[in-house]
């Protein structure tokens, strides 16, 4: 499965898409209030099948097909299931139409994509989009999404597989340590500095926030300042995405095996605060994994409880006194002087190799058992 993202042209016709989103929000809120009332009266949850039946029979929307509303109901059900399994703290809430972001075509009916034209049958409107690249495979779902800036995007998911191009690396193995001071430290000594996009634009953002707070709520000035702020945030995330993709390609082009530490994000956020969201290592890891399939690169995850920065990479001595502020230390057992991040990267590489070797051994013995 691959998803391609295209931007729709800005026209006055997108007002119809806003209306469709408004109807989606109606479906969500109506189903939610039904659930709440049912729970108050009988103490039970309406199953998603019954809810869909009820909507198919009773609740007709002018602009939506039934599979559009079914998808909204499924989203609501998923939100409830997360709450029941204690993955979410609260049950789903009522949503304002302005905050409802997307609707989905799960079946092939109801829309058509022809060249760079996306047409919606129910409202009889054709939207052009910037076709930045061709998509391959058969279309599975199409999602129309409105971003906070009011622009519309088309997400086309197809059944195409990621094609691996020719491998360009020569069997090199590398361990990577994620950090705050430096973005990445590689076990062969290479270092990627932290591009703090957020920090660069932080001043602009503070300014925009101040401007916003001076305006009166629900005034047109307020809306304009809000838009300014949302554009700034979008700019940052675009720059961050571009940087991460480029970096992922560069690493996968060079190395055939990349060892990483599994991240525990909540722990990191508690420890380091805002900067982690700026670094957004987690999104980088998922991008790296995706790019790795293109280059036939192997990604190995090392257990996060393994003390990568406290262990001496020469002799294996564990320095329990090492604090977060110590950037370098000398091993009391063998006398080697370590840079904190490089030492961690070396340890991650070794432990990743160990995991690989023991993994292949167990596969080997399994075959003969």
**CA atoms within 13 Å, Cβ hemisphere of 78:** 6
In angstroms, give the least distance from the CB of 309 to Zn ion.
13
Neighbours of 87 (CB within 10 A): 8
- Minimum distance, C-beta of residue 302 to Zn ion, in the bound complex (Å): 20
Site for Zn ion in 316-345 (CB under 5 A): 317, 331, 333-334, 336
Helix (H) or strand (E) holding 341: helix 340-368
Closest to Zn ion by CB, 299 or 346: 346
Work out which of 315, 318, 324, 357 binds Zn ion, going by CB under 5 A: 315
Closer of 50 and 354 to Zn ion (Cβ): 354
Q: In what order do the strands lie in the sheet with 139-146?
A: 102-105, 139-146, 152-158, 2-8, 125-130, 117-120, 111-114
Check residue 346 for interaction with Zn ion (CB under 5 A).
Answer: no
Q: Which two tokens stand for residue 251?
A: 């690493």
Smallest distance, Å, CB 79 to Zn ion? Answer: 51
Residue 346 CB, nearest approach to Zn ion (Å): 12
271/334 with CB nearer Zn ion: 334
Number of residues lying near Zn ion (CB under 5 A): 8
260 binds Zn ion (CB under 5 A): no
Q: Out of 156, 258, 312, 346, which residue is the one contacting Zn ion (CB under 5 A)?
A: 312
Region of 11-19, 212-220, 258-266, 311-319 interacting with Zn ion (CB under 5 A): 311-319
Contact 321, 312 (CB under 8 A): no
CA angle 170-242-206, nearest 5°? Answer: 140
CB 90 within 8 A of CB 127: no
Q: Is 314 in the site for Zn ion (CB under 5 A)?
A: yes
- How does DSSP assign 258-274, residue by residue? EEEEPP-HHHHHHHHTH
Closest CB to Zn ion among 286 and 333? Answer: 333
Residues that bind Zn ion (CB under 5 A): 312, 314-315, 317, 331, 333-334, 336
């Amino acid at each position: 499965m691959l998803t391609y993202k295209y931007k729709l042209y800005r026209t006055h016709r997108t007002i119809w898409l806003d209306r469709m989103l408004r109807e989606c929000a109606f479906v969500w809120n109506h189903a939610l209030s039904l659930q709440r009332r049912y729970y108050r009266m009988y103490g039970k949850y309406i199953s998603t099948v019954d809810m869909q039946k009820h909507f198919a029979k009773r609740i007709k929307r002018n602009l939506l097909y039934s599979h559009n509303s079914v998808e909204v109901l499924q989203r609501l059900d998923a939100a409830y299931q997360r709450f029941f399994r204690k993955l979410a703290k609260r049950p789903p809430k009522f949503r304002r139409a302005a905050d409802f972001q997307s609707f989905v075509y799960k079946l092939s009916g109801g829309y058509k994509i022809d060249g760079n034209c996306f047409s919606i049958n129910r409202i009889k409107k054709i939207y052009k989009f910037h076709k930045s690249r061709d998509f391959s495979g058969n279309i599975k779902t199409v999602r129309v999404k409105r971003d906070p800036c009011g622009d519309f995007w088309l997400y086309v998911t197809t059944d195409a597989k990621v094609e691996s191009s020719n491998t360009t690396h020569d069997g090199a193995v590398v361990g990577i340590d994620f950090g705050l001071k430096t973005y990445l430290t590689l076990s062969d000594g290479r270092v990627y500095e932290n591009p703090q996009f957020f920090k660069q634009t932080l001043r602009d953002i503070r300014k925009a926030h101040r401007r916003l707070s001076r305006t009166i709520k629900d005034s047109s000035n307020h809306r304009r300042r809000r838009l300014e702020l949302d554009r700034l945030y979008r700019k940052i995330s675009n720059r961050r995405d571009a940087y991460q993709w480029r970096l992922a390609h560069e690493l996968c082009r060079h190395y055939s095996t990349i060892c990483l530490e599994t991240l525990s994000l909540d722990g990191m956020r508690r420890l380091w605060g805002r900067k982690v969201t700026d670094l957004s290592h987690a999104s980088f890891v998922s991008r790296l994994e995706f790019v790795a399939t293109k280059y036939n690169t192997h990604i190995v995850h090392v257990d996060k409880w393994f003390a990568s920065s406290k262990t001496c990479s020469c002799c294996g001595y564990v320095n329990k006194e090492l604090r977060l502020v110590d950037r370098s230390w000398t091993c009391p057992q063998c006398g080697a002087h370590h840079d904190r991040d490089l030492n961690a990267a070396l340890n991650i590489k070794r432990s990743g190799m160990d995991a690989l070797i023991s993994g292949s051994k167990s596969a080997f013995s399994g075959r003969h058992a």
